Amino acid sequence: MYVAVGQFAVTPDWQENARHCAELMSQAAGKGASLLVLPEALLARDDNDPDLSVKSAQSLDGDFLKVLKTESAANTLTSILTLHVPSSPGRAVNTLVALRGGEIVQTYAKLHLYDAFSVQESRQVDPGHQLPPVIEVGGFKLGLMTCYDLRFPEMAMNLALSGADVLILPAAWVKGPLKEHHWATLLTARALDTTCYVVAAGECGNKNIGQSRVIDPLGVTVAAAAEKPALIMAELDRERVHAVRQQLPVLRNRRFAPPQLL
């Protein structure tokens, strides 16, 4: 299965961002991809207004997703991204959405909010309360995660034990001392923890690192972007997952029951 990862700098204009997402969807489908992963919080972003993502929140039947649904209806591509959905006045839920055939086929409300490194996502965002789902695309089972979820290995392990052989991660990874190192290390660690592919999309604005990655089940980076807008492609191989799990059977060798996340 061919996967595409699109990274770009989100602007303050949701209409421009929707057009950009639709363009990336069209390009990915044209290149033969079965899956496109886009970054986190794509509605709107402004360096001078850190609250704009929440202020711009739209419902799942809002105009932003209508643009993407129209593009989705034109092909068989599965597209995954996140946006903020209103929950109560002045608050929202950071919601991952999977689109296929012009419809929403799955959603996931981000469990782990980024209350770290002097940022407090929970100030305006409500956490989810359900474990993320596993969905099937092109014969692969995809476990869904969002950004800060990457730092919680029990979540990736829960998805792998639920059948996932690919972990999907839209992100807006904030720049800072050692943060690029954390990103690369954690992506590789989650691949090795679970013997899953990891497909991660990063927003590449002034405050976020970009650096989208596709990493294989032995922790090898098979496709990568730098800090600029890009569309990268990689082929996922089911035989690679099977071979690695025969060689490195960590899922079978583990001695502990999976922890309860909630």
Radius of gyration, CA atoms only, the chain: 17
Looking at 21, 40, 71, 204, which residue is catalytic?
A: 40
Check 69, 110, 196, 203 and give the catalytic one: 110
Rama region for 76: left / alpha / beta (φ>0; ψ in -120 to 50; rest): alpha
* Residue in 21, 69, 71, 147 annotated catalytic: 147
- Quote the CA–CA distance of 29 and 169 in Å, as a whole number: 20
- Residue 110 falls in the annotated catalytic set: yes
3-state secondary structure the chain: CEEEEEECCCCCCHHHHHHHHHHHHHHHHHCCCCEEECCCCCCCCECCECCHHHHCCCCCCCHHHHHHHHHHCCCCCEEEEEEEEEEECCEEEEEEEEEECCEEEEEEECCCCCEECCEEHHHCEECCCCCCCEEEECCEEEEECCHHHHHCHHHHHHHHHCCCCEEEEEECCECCCCHHHHHHHHHHHHHHHHCCEEEEEECCCCCECCCCEEECCCCCEEEECCCCCEEEEEECCHHHHHHHHHHCCHHHHCCCCCCCCC
**Residues taking part in catalysis:** 40, 110, 147
